[in-house]
Homo-oligomer: A and B are copies of this chain.
Amino acid sequence: MTGTMTIDQLTAEVERIFQAAGASELQARTVAEVIVAGERDGCASHGIYRIEGCLRTIEAGKVDVKAMPELDDDGSAVIRVRANGAYSVAGLAVGLPALAERARALGLAALVINDCTHFSALWPEVEQITALGLAGIAMCPSYATVAPAGGSKPLLGTNPLAFGWPRPGGRPYVFDFATSFMARGDVELHRIAGKPLPEGCAVDRDGNPTTDPQAALDGAMLPFGGHKGSAISTMIELMAGAMIGDMTSAEALDYLGTTTLAPKHGELLLAFCPERFAAGRADPFARAETLLEAIVGQGARLPSQRRFAARAQAEAEGIELSAEQMQMLARMRERVGLAG
């Protein structure tokens, strides 16, 4: 049986599952919000299908869903949250007010989240920054599954990079992508479908280029954009790993010993106050609109346009769930001991 739920109904449902799995109120709420945001925006790979992986990580004891992230604010431009093993989104919830306040006061500020368990996409996080009228950047390592350009062995993560710019009266400009040629989940999907990978995507375990998904999973993925993407991925390891005193992708994989659970490491977010940067020289938002409208005006797409269309539909008509999804939700309820 299929079903339709409002965004709020589905969020409450997912929140209930996580609470029953032992999660604190904050963690259950923030994880439910980000999972439902994925479903709402038509990002199946970050939607309610993620619940099972989260429960597996909880059951394996690799995330502390009772932990309370702690804010460490010394008044500088670097706000820190010690997540103590909690999910990154809970860490963000604890640090975001200070990050925003400091970015407005100083012009820019950073939020370091240490010791968090990571599973969400970064766009819901930068959208929380743009919702406050600030521009935002987010980045984090992941697991060592990507070889540096010219190399042959997994060392870098798929290392996502996200950026958001607030657009007055509309959805923000947001991008969020893996700095690998392909997300690891997409390589899996190619393997399941028996489809070859595009050229330049991966090397086998001997370092030779391959289009075979299984050989790629046994070998290493490659960064997007050749040596340029590789350099950006390395920057993310340095800034959101080494610099913040947290694990690089290689260290995260060593620590966990598997790529089937959500990785534990740190995350770096930056927030910029456009009015402070423009300092009255010009209206930064108006200049940005001229640029963004010119992109759309020549028939190119802005990143996230498809997500925002799905969101508008979900807001208006609710989220439609397939029979399979309804069954999965029922299974998850059962798994955490909730009556149907």
Contact = CB atoms under 8 A, between A and B. Distances in A.
Given A135-B238, A245-B280, A229 B231 contact: no
A177 B231 CA distance: 10
A125 to B, nearest CB: 16
A114 interface: yes
Contacts of A77: 77, 106-109
B276 A76 contact: yes
Nearest to A179: B228
Contacts of A291: 155, 234, 237-238, 241-242, 248, 250
Interface string A68-95: 0000100011101000000000000000
A222 to B, nearest CB: 11
B80 A295 contact: no
A157 to B, nearest CB: 11
A245 B282 contact: yes
A147 interface: yes
A243 B278 contact: yes
Contacts of A150: 299-301
Interface string A126-149: 000000000100000000000111
B245 A148 contact: no
B277 A245 contact: yes
A271 to B, nearest CB: 11
A108 B110 contact: yes
Contact of A284 (B107, B149, B242): B242
A23 interface: no
A243 B110 contact: no
A53 to B, nearest CB: 25
Contact of A175 (B231, B241, B274, B282): B231
Contacts of A232: 161, 163, 232
Contact of A107 (B76, B175, B274, B279): B76
A235 B242 CA distance: 25
B229 A151 contact: no
A295 B234 contact: yes
Interface of A: 72, 76-78, 80, 105-110, 112, 114, 135, 147-153, 155, 161, 163, 165, 173, 175, 177, 179, 224-232, 234-235, 237-239, 241-246, 248, 250-251, 270, 272, 274, 276-282, 284-285, 287-288, 290-292, 294-295, 298-301, 303
Given A224-B225, A244-B281, 8 more contacts: A106-B106, A108-B110, A148-B295, A150-B300, A175-B228, A225-B225, A245-B281, A248-B290
> Which 7 residue pairs are nearest across A and B when measured between Cβ atoms?
A225-B225, A245-B281, A78-B107, A151-B300, A245-B278, A242-B287, A175-B231
